[in-house]
Chains A and B, each alone.
Chain A
């Protein structure tokens, strides 16, 4: 009894750590004026999210979140930050107008959050009685049978994206 209590306590602690990491990362990503810090905030947020995915019984997606978001997306954005002008300029906005627009946005987003949390806390969500396993094995079988077409299409989309990115970024460059 004492043992299971301790386990619950530790699990709760790790869960709160994941929640806090996600929110703090998101706040840094949205608020800091230096872009490189903002990218770091995104990376921290993704780290927390992968913890949340782990708690949602999906270690596979937790791994993928770290691999794709931190390993690929954030690193790509860091490269872009290095290639273009890094910092946001001081806003040319007047102070009053900045306050006005920022306040309006705050009110709007707070309203949206309130509405969404009303929806989230409503008792309408019924939990499924019995669930499949959702194991990595099940994911693999689904990917190669039911969703094989989508799987192939996404690889095609990635290929087109790579070629398109090269083509767009290359145009306008002078020959050496």
Chain B
């Protein structure tokens, strides 16, 4: 009896790799701060999925990885709150969140 597809480790690892790659592409190519933040969230999700996959298949006590991913989610929520308030402050000063306009230090 072979394992069905949803019971195999590499499928989840490939999915996580795909999410990471998409996130990095978006992080470099997006032109607004909010778009970059969304891509960052994709990278967070990739990390969480990776941890959960290894946690399900290779670890003795599967509760530990779930707690770890729970903490990742909490930190991601905190990070989003901070980042968005910074964006609001930036918008108030520059009237824009486009990365091209935020070049005060550029000579």
Binding site for B on A (CB under 8 A): 8, 11-12, 15, 19, 22-23, 26-27, 29-31, 35, 38-39, 41-42, 45-46, 49, 52-53, 55-58, 60-61, 64-65, 68-69, 72-73, 76-77, 79-81, 83-85, 88-89, 91-92, 101-102, 105-106, 109-110, 112-113, 116-117, 119-121, 125-128, 130-135, 138-139, 141-143, 147, 150, 154, 157-158, 160-162, 164-166, 168-169, 171-173
Contacts and interface: CB of A to CB of B under 8 A. Distances in A.
Contacts, number: 243
A130 B62 CA distance: 11
A30 B39 CA distance: 6
B101 to A, nearest CB: 9
B73 A68 contact: yes
B37 A161 contact: no
Give the bracket for the number of chain B residues in contact with chain A.
Answer: 35 or more
Given A56-B52, A128-B60, A130-B60, A150 B85 contact: no
Interface of B: 4-6, 9-15, 17-26, 28-32, 34-35, 37-39, 41-42, 45, 48-49, 52-64, 66-67, 69-71, 73-82, 84-89, 91-93, 95-98, 100
